[in-house]
Amino acid sequence: MNKIVWFKNDLRVSNKDAFNEAIKSGNILPIYILTFIKNKSLKNSSN
C-alpha cells in the first residue's frame, strides 16, 4: 500500500511515528513544503 507522509515543521525522521509506521507498510511519498518569510515583522502584522 502507498502512503503519504507530510512533514509540517522539519525533516527529522527519527522521532516521527507516522513515518516509521508508513515505512513498515510499503511505499511512501514524503512531502515537505518550504515557505520563506523575508521579514518576520510581516508575519505578525495585521495589515
Could you tell me the residue ranges of all domains in the chain? 3-43
* Residues 3-45 pLDDT 10s: 888 877 777 777 778 788 888 888 888 888 887 766 666 555 5
Cell 522539519: give the residue.
10
Contacting residues for 5 by C-beta, under 8 A, at least 6 apart: 16, 18, 19, 22, 28, 29, 30, 31
pLDDT at 46: 54
Sign of the torsion formed by the C-alpha atoms of 34, 36, 40 and 46: negative
pLDDT at 44: 57
pLDDT at 38: 66
The better pLDDT of the pair 46, 16 is held by 16
Provide the grid cell at 19. 513515518
φ/ψ of residue 23, rounded to 5: -60, -40
2 — pLDDT class (breaks 50, 70, 90): confident
